[in-house]
Amino acid sequence: MGKERLLRGIAALAAVVGYVAVGQVLTVGILGDLTTTNVWTCFGPDTTVWNKYVLGGQYRALYGPVAPTWTWLPSLADGFPSDFVKEEGRWVATVKLRQGIFWTDGTPFTADDVVFTFNVLLTEVGGMRMALALGGNWPSYCPDSLLAVEKVDDYTVKFVYATEPGLGEWAFGALMCPIVQKAYWEPKFQAALQTRDPAGSLLAVVPEDEPILGGYVLVRWEPGAFAVVDKNPTYYATGEVLTLYEGGGAVIHNPKLNYYFEAYGGATGPVLHELVEGPYVDSIIYPIYLDQDAAVLALQKGEIAMFLNPRGLAKGFEDRLKATPGVQIISNPPWGFHYLAFNMRREPMNNKAFRVAIATLINREYLAESVFQGVITPVYSAVPDANSFWHNPDIVVYGKGLTHAQRVMEAVRILKEAGFSWDAEPKVINPGTRNETVIGVLPDGTEVPAPKGFKLPDGRYCPELELLAPSAGYDPLRATFALYIEQWCKELAIPVKANLTGFNVIVNKVWAPDGFYFDMYILNWPLGNPAFPDYLSYFWHSSQDVPSGFNTPGYRNPEYDRLAEEFLAAKSVEEARPLVFRMQEILAEDVPYVILFDTPIKEAFRADMIEFPYTEVLGGIQFVWPLTTVKALK
C-alpha cells in the first residue's frame, strides 16, 4: 500500500507540474502534511506549522507585525484605529477599511465581512462563545472584554469593549484576527448552528472555492504527497511598496489603490528595506518529504528551491550542502529558547537558594565553546537578546564569568547561607590550576575523598532528584546539557539523576491531567509574536499554575502577576516596555527557569533558483513564510 501510494503521489505531482508549467513556479519542500483546509480549524485546533506554511498566505487581518523589523502596521485597515472613548459605560473605537480591495470571486471587501467574522466568534454556543469552543488562536482574537463589533458604514467598523482594552486584547488581539467572507461562510455558519455541536460542525466544513484576500490561494492538495498554491490575480497589495527606515518610520504606498500612509514618523533616516509586494511566481508546489535527508537530497539535485523546517538545518546536512554548487546557507537568531524548569511545588526546588545554586553551577559558555563548538548560543534572559526592543540587557546572571572552581565555591556559599548542609562539605583545592578538584570537608576540618550527605535546611537528607530531558537520539544538545548538569550537581553531592527519555514521556509528566509529576526538566519553547511577547504572562502568571496551564514551575509572585497584568493592559508599546524589563529582572532573580541556550536557525536554498528581499530576520525565512516578495530565478 505504501509503494502504491507513493507512485500515485509521483504521478499526481507530475500532472500538477504540467498544469502549472505555463508560468513561473517555485517548488518548496515541507516535512509534514496539511491537516485541514478549513480556516476555522487552521487557526483553531490545528494550528500546525505546516498548515501555516501552505495556507497562511490566503488570509489577511486588519493589522499585523511586518517582518523583518516586526513593525505593527495596517493591512486591510486604512491607517491606525481611533482612540478609545467611553460611551454609555462602554469603550468604543473605530477602524477605517481600505477601499478597492476585492475577494477572489470579484466581490468587494467591506465592513460586512469584518462584522460577520467577529459575530461568528461572539455567538454563544453551549454556554460559551464560539471563539472559545473553536479553540486555538480564536479566543485571543475575541477576548472576554470584547462585547460587539458593529458596522458604521461600508468602510468603517466599530469595536465595543466592556473595559478599555490593552495591547493584548486590541492591537495584538482582535485587530490581528483573520477575516473571512460573509457571503461564503454565513450559510455554512447558520447550518452549523442548527446542529448539536455548532463548533464541531463549523470545524468539519471542507471548503471548496472559498474566496480569499491573501496573495496565494490553495488550488490542490494530495494528502501525503503535495499541495499547490497559485498567486491571487485580484490580490489588493500587488505592487504595494513598503519602505522601512532606520529611524523606525514606515511608509506604505499602493499606486493601484491610490493609497498612501506614513507611520511612526514616516521617512526618518536612511532606508532600511524597500519591499515591493508580488506575488512574483505563478505557483508554489509543496512536495512533502518524510525526513530532512530526503529533502536535502532533493535540494542538492535542484528538484526544490528550498525546504521549510521550523527546527532549521541539522549540522550534518549543513556540511553536505556547503559543497553543493548553487546552494546558499543562511543563519539567523531563533525566536525561542531551551530551558531548565524547576517544580517549585516540591522540595528543594521550592527554595530559591537551591535554584540559584544550580543556576550558578551551569556553565553555558563552556558547553557552547568547548563541547558544542559554536553550535549553540547561550541565552540568559526570558526575552532573548535577538529581540532588542524588548530585551533587558541588565539582568542578574548567576555564575556568569566565573571559573568552575569559583562557581562551586559560590554555590556552596549560597546553599550554606540558606541552611543546607553536608556530612562532608564540598571544598575546592588548587583553584585555578589544571589539578583543581572538589573534595569533602567534615565539620571538624578533616578532609575526605569526596563531598557527601547533602541535607535540606531541616536536616533531612535530600532525596534523589530526577532531571527529565529528551534522549540523545531526539536532541543531543538537550541530552548533553542534562548530563553535564547531573555531573556538576554530583560534584556537590546534590543527588540529581538525568533521565534521558522520550519527548512524549516528558510532556505527559509535566502536563499530567491531575498534577505535575516531575522535579526538573529540559525542553524548549517557540515564543510566538516577536512584536508582543505575551508569553511572559502565560508562562509565569499564577493563573496558569494548573495542570493544563503553561506555568509548569508553579511560580507564584504577586508583583510579577501585577506586572504581567499591567503589561497585557498597556495601551502602547512604550508603556509596556519598562514592564517587560522589570519582569525579566524578577524572573532572573527568582529562577523558576534557568534559560539555557538556543541554536541559530540555519536554512539552505538554491541561490540559482530563488531570490529573497532579505535574508536577515529573527526566526529565519521559514518564520515569516509565505513571502509574497520572493522571486524565482528559473
pLDDT at residue 352, rounded to an integer: 98
Tell whether the model's pLDDT for residue 534 goes beyond 90: yes
Total length of the chain = 634
Classify residue 42: in a domain, yes or no.
Answer: no
Classify residue 610: in a domain, yes or no.
Answer: yes
- Ramachandran category for residue 447: left, alpha or beta (phi over 0 → left; psi -120 to 50 → alpha): beta
pLDDT at residue 15, rounded to an integer: 45
Cα–Cα dist 23/11, whole Å: 20
Query: Which grid coordinates belong to 570?
Result: 498597556
Cα–Cα dist 408/410, whole Å: 5
Whether residue 264 sits in one domain with residue 147: no
Whether residue 303 sits in one domain with residue 258: no
pLDDT at residue 1, rounded to an integer: 36
359-375 mean pLDDT: 93
Start-end of H helices in 448-510? 476-491, 503-510
Whether residue 226 sits in one domain with residue 143: no
Listed residue (387, 393, 396, 389) closest to 576, CA to CA: 389
Query: Which grid coordinates belong to 578?
Result: 519598562
149-154 mean pLDDT: 98
Q: Which residue has the cell 563552556?
A: 366
Residue partners of 204: CB distance under 8 A and separation at least 6: 38
How would you classify the pairing of strands 306-308 and 25-30? parallel
The strand pairing partners of 64, in sequence order, are: 73
Cα–Cα dist 364/338, whole Å: 12
Whether residue 353 sits in one domain with residue 322: no
The count of structural domains within the chain is 4
Listed residue (106, 120, 173) closest to 145, CA to CA: 173
Listed residue (507, 592, 502, 605) closest to 554, CA to CA: 592
Q: Which residue has the cell 560534584?
A: 491
Tell whether the model's pLDDT for residue 4 goes beyond 80: no
Q: What is the pLDDT of the chain when averaged over all its residues?
A: 93
Whether residue 605 sits in one domain with residue 594: no
- The domain in which residue 249 lies consists of 239-274
Query: What pTM was computed for the model?
Result: 0.85
pLDDT at residue 436, rounded to an integer: 82
pLDDT digits 0-9 by tens, 169-187: 999 999 999 999 999 999 9
Q: What percent of the chain has pLDDT over 90?
A: 85
Q: Phi first, then psi: what are they for 297, rounded to 5°?
A: -60, -40
87-93 mean pLDDT: 96
pLDDT at residue 13, rounded to an integer: 47
CA angle 241, 244, 248 (to 5 degrees): 150
Whether residue 314 sits in one domain with residue 289: yes
Classify residue 58: in a domain, yes or no.
Answer: no
How would you classify the pairing of strands 146-153 and 85-87? unpaired
pLDDT digits 0-9 by tens, 477-494: 999 999 999 999 999 999
Whether residue 253 sits in one domain with residue 225: no
pLDDT digits 0-9 by tens, 11-56: 444 444 444 445 799 999 999 999 999 999 999 998 889 999 999 9
Classify residue 198: in a domain, yes or no.
Answer: yes
pLDDT at residue 281, rounded to an integer: 96
Classify residue 568: in a domain, yes or no.
Answer: yes
pLDDT-derived band at 631, boundaries 50, 70, 90: very high
Q: Phi first, then psi: what are they for 26, rounded to 5°?
A: -110, 140
Whether residue 351 sits in one domain with residue 308: no
pLDDT at residue 474, rounded to an integer: 85
52-67 mean pLDDT: 95
pLDDT at residue 311, rounded to an integer: 82
Q: Which residue has the cell 507585525?
A: 65
Whether residue 470 sits in one domain with residue 410: yes
Whether residue 571 sits in one domain with residue 426: yes
Classify residue 368: in a domain, yes or no.
Answer: yes
Residue partners of 479: CB distance under 8 A and separation at least 6: 469, 470, 471, 472, 498, 500
pLDDT-derived band at 116, boundaries 50, 70, 90: very high
Whether residue 174 sits in one domain with residue 134: yes
| Of residues 634 and 466, more confidently modeled | 466
pLDDT digits 0-9 by tens, 214-258: 999 999 999 999 999 999 999 999 999 999 999 899 999 999 999
pLDDT at residue 515, rounded to an integer: 86
Tell whether the model's pLDDT for residue 104 goes beyond 60: yes
Q: What percent of the chain has pLDDT over 70?
A: 96
Tell whether the model's pLDDT for residue 368 goes beyond 60: yes
308-318 mean pLDDT: 86
Burial 224-245 (b: 16+ CB within 10 A, else e): ebbbbbbbbebbbbbebebbbb
283-310 mean pLDDT: 95
Whether residue 87 sits in one domain with residue 224: no
pLDDT at residue 374, rounded to an integer: 83
Residue 318's CATH number: 3.40.190.10
Tell whether the model's pLDDT for residue 555 goes beyond 80: yes
Q: Which residue has the cell 496539511?
A: 34
Cα–Cα dist 130/585, whole Å: 38
Instruction: Give CA separation, 605 vs 35, 373, 581, 609, 622, in Å.
Output: 26, 24, 37, 8, 11
Cα–Cα dist 111/483, whole Å: 58
Classify residue 57: in a domain, yes or no.
Answer: no
269-286 mean pLDDT: 96
524-529 mean pLDDT: 91
Cα–Cα dist 436/563, whole Å: 44
Residue partners of 254: CB distance under 8 A and separation at least 6: 236, 237, 239, 240, 241, 260
What angle, rounded to 10 degrees, do the helices at 182-193 and 111-122 form? 20
pLDDT-derived band at 64, boundaries 50, 70, 90: very high
Listed residue (230, 141, 216, 147) closest to 178, CA to CA: 141
Cα–Cα dist 131/144, whole Å: 10
Long-range contacts of 479-486 (CB under 8 A, 24+ apart): 480/367, 480/371, 480/372, 481/338, 481/340, 481/367, 481/522, 481/596, 481/597, 482/522, 484/362, 484/367, 484/371, 485/340, 485/358, 485/361, 485/362
Classify residue 39: in a domain, yes or no.
Answer: no
Q: Which residue has the cell 506549522?
A: 49
pLDDT digits 0-9 by tens, 576-608: 999 999 999 999 999 999 999 999 999 999 999
